[in-house]
């Protein structure tokens, strides 16, 4: 039989009538000794555990909601960059930016700004969703067909001699030498830029070293060093990213109207363009293409004539008002005809070559429009190039080199 003796309210001493010493069982019980404290303790523990799990679930939910808003704000910022690019495609001179575009009930593009850089534009789009802000900054280079002359592949050199007269901007991917010339526009080289007793009326840009022994009226930008005469608007060392050059420029036109023979007269090509569908007609030759003389020397309409091989132009190519043609060769591009030895040629439009642009058997070539090529050989011919933006504007939505090129893209948390 058991006997009980309570020493304290909270202590229950159990004495067994044996020779063994007593065992003390300590419980934090109430006066009656019921099971309620255990239930309360378990309830508290479960409540705390449940609250912790609930807080964890809420935190996870809130974290997921925040991640969703971050993604949505990033998407809206991307949309802002794309809106800016759309405006630039319509108008390469567009600079005013955008403000407060409410795209949805929960998000908006606060602003899109455009900032000029030596060789590119810096676009920044700021967007907000539910108090979460994100910005995207993209550096974009202008279309290659907006230069009077764009050439080079990152290697080699080009000499601008008195035999060449260029009115417009020049970009060369490589080393560029200006000798005894006056250039009206901006001049840029991805390597070294040497101005040897020449005059550059615009800005001068060198990815590496800029050596000026002539005159630079504008500002000089360089990536490594500057030496020689001071420039008119000062100089600045900058980090420069140059656009990619020409690579398979004919590739995007392979589904155009197929040209089945190697030689066509200008009149024959005009007939094909007149009968083709759409506003801008695409003609494609899988192989080499020769454009020969005919009674016609003036074209009309809008067209892109491409060939996977070389193109040889043996005729003048002059445009009616409002008309624009682009000739695109995957290989070299030649202008001239042995039968017109030492004659002169006139081209109005855009020339794009995946190889070298060269003159042959002629004494003088006048181009109004733009030349984009991997290299230029004018030999002893006089070459005049005058940039005309109207030719690019008429075709830029179909020219694969007529668009803005993204040089860098980064997301910024505000």
Q: Is a pLDDT exceeding 80 seen at residue 72? A: yes
% of residues, the chain, pLDDT over 70: 83
Domain count for the chain: 4
| pLDDT above 70 (res 211) | yes
93 and 214: one domain?
no
Q: Are strands 107-116 and 120-129 parallel, antiparallel or unpaired?
A: antiparallel
Q: What is the mean pLDDT of residues 215-239?
A: 96
> What's residue 295's pLDDT?
87
Least confident range from 123-132, 326-335, 377-386: namely 377-386
Reference 291, options 246, 327, 318, 320; nearest CA is: 327
Q: Is the pLDDT of residue 400 over 90?
A: no
Is 67 contained in some domain?
A: no
Counting every residue written for the chain, the total comes to 414
The more confidently predicted of residues 2 and 196 is: 196
Give yes or no: residues 281 and 331 share one domain. yes
**Which positions ≥6 away from 345 have C-beta within 8 Å?**
313, 315, 316, 335, 336, 362, 364, 365, 366
Residue 86 lies in a domain: yes
Mean of the pLDDT values across residues 50-69? 58
Nearest partner of 209 among 231, 234, 182, 228, judged by Cα: 228
Q: What pTM value is reported for the model?
A: 0.80
In a domain, 243, yes or no: no
pLDDT band with cut points at 50, 70 and 90 for residue 318: very high
Same domain (yes/no): 275, 379: yes
Q: How confident is the model at residue 340 (pLDDT cuts 50, 70, 90)?
A: low
Residue 413: pLDDT over 90? no
202 and 305 fall within a common domain: no
pLDDT for res 62: 56
Residues 274 and 379 in one domain: yes
Buried b (16+ CB within 10 A) or exposed e, 165-203: bbebbbbbbbbbbbeebebbbbbbbbbbbbbbebebebb
Residue 337 has φ and ψ, to the nearest 5°, of -150, 130
| 374 and 256 within one domain | yes
Q: What does the pLDDT read at residue 16?
A: 39
Domain end: 237, 270, 296, which one? 237
Residue 218, token pair as written in the block: 């504008």
Which residue(s) pair with 314 in the sheet? none
Q: What does the DSSP assignment read for 49-117?
A: HHHHHHHHHHHHHHHHHHHHHHHHHHHHHHHHHHHHHHHHHH-TT----EEEEE-SSSEEEEEEEEEE-
Q: Look at residue 285 and give its three-state secondary structure.
A: strand
In angstroms, the CA 409 to CA 133 distance is 17
Q: What is the mean pLDDT of residues 180-193?
A: 94
Across the chain, mean pLDDT equals 85
340 and 369 belong to one structural domain: yes
Comparing C-alpha atoms, which of 291, 343, 333 is closest to residue 315? 291
pLDDT at 65: 67
Same-domain status, 315 and 372: yes
Are β-strands 199-200 and 215-216 bridged in parallel, bridged antiparallel, or unpaired? parallel
In a domain, 68, yes or no: no
User: What pLDDT, on the 0 to 100 scale, is given for residue 364?
Assistant: 92
Mean pLDDT of 18-46: 43
Name which of 61-70, 157-166, 246-255, 365-374 the model is least confident about: 61-70
Contact 204, 226 (CB under 8 A): no
Reported as a single tens digit per residue, the pLDDT across 357-378 is 999 888 899 999 999 999 998 7
The verdict on residue 199 lying in a domain is yes
Say if residues 346 and 366 touch (Cβ distance below 8 Å): yes
Lowest average pLDDT, out of 51-55, 252-256, 274-278, goes to: 51-55
What's the mean pLDDT in 187-204? 96
Say if 318 falls within a structural domain. yes
Domain termination site, one of 202, 237, 272: 237
The pLDDT value recorded for residue 63 is 62
Q: Report pLDDT for 360.
A: 85
Residues 50 and 92 in one domain: no
- Whole domain around residue 185: which residue ranges? 151-237
Note whether 200 and 315 are same-domain residues: no
Residue 64 belongs to some domain of the structure: no
Task: Give the pLDDT band (50/70/90) at residue 162.
Answer: confident
Name the residue with higher pLDDT: 89 or 286.
286
Q: Are residues 208 and 132 in the same domain?
A: no
Q: Are residues 160 and 116 in the same domain?
A: no
Tell whether the model's pLDDT for residue 5 goes beyond 50: no
Mean pLDDT across the stretch 55-82? 75
Indicate whether 246 belongs to any domain. Answer: no
Q: Residue 48: is its pLDDT beyond 50?
A: no
pLDDT confidence of residue 163 = 85
Residue that terminates a domain, selected from 19, 35, 58: 58
């Amino acid at each position: 039989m058991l006997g009980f003796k309570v020493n304290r309210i909270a202590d229950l001493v159990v004495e067994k009538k044996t020779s063994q010493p007593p065992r003390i069982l300590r419980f934090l019980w109430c006066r009656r000794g019921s099971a309620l404290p255990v239930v309360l303790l378990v309830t508290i523990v479960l409540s705390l555990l449940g609250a912790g799990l609930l807080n964890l679930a809420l935190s996870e939910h809130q974290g997921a909601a925040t991640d969703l808003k971050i993604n949505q704000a990033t998407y809206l910022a991307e949309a802002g960059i794309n809106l800016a690019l759309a405006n630039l495609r319509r108008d390469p001179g567009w600079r005013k930016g955008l403000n407060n575009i409410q795209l949805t009930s929960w998000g908006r593009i606060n602003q899109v700004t455009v900032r000029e850089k030596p060789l590119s534009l810096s676009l920044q789009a700021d967007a907000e969703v539910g108090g979460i802000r994100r910005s995207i900054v993209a550096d974009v280079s202008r279309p290659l067909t907006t230069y009077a002359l764009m050439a080079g592949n990152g290697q080699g050199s080009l000499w601008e001699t008195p035999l060449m007269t260029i009115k417009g901007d020049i970009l060369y991917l490589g080393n560029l030498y200006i000798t005894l010339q006056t250039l009206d526009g901006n001049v840029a080289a991805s390597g070294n830029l040497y101005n040897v007793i020449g005059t550059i009326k615009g800005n001068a840009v060198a990815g590496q070293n800029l050596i000026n022994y002539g005159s630079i009226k504008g500002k000089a930008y360089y990536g490594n060093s500057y030496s020689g005469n001071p420039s008119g608007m000062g100089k600045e060392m900058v980090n420069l990213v140059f656009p990619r050059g020409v690579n398979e420029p004919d590739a995007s036109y392979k589904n155009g109207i197929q040209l089945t023979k190697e030689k066509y007269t200008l009149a024959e090509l005009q007939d094909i363009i007149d009968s083709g569908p759409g506003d801008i007609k695409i003609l494609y030759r899988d192989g080499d293409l020769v454009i020969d003389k005919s009674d016609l020397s003036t074209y009309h309409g809008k067209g892109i004539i491409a060939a996977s091989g070389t193109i040889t132009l043996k005729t003048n190519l002059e445009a009616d008002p409002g008309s624009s043609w682009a000739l695109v060769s995957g290989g070299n591009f030649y202008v001239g005809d042995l039968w017109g030895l030492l004659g002169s040629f006139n081209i109005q439009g855009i020339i794009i070559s995946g190889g070298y642009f060269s003159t042959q058997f002629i004494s003088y070539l006048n181009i109004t429009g733009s030349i984009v090529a991997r290299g230029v050989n004018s030999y002893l011919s006089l070459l005049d190039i005058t940039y005309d933006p109207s030719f690019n504007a008429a075709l830029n939505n179909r020219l694969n080199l007529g668009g803005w090129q993204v040089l860098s893209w980064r997301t910024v948390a505000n």
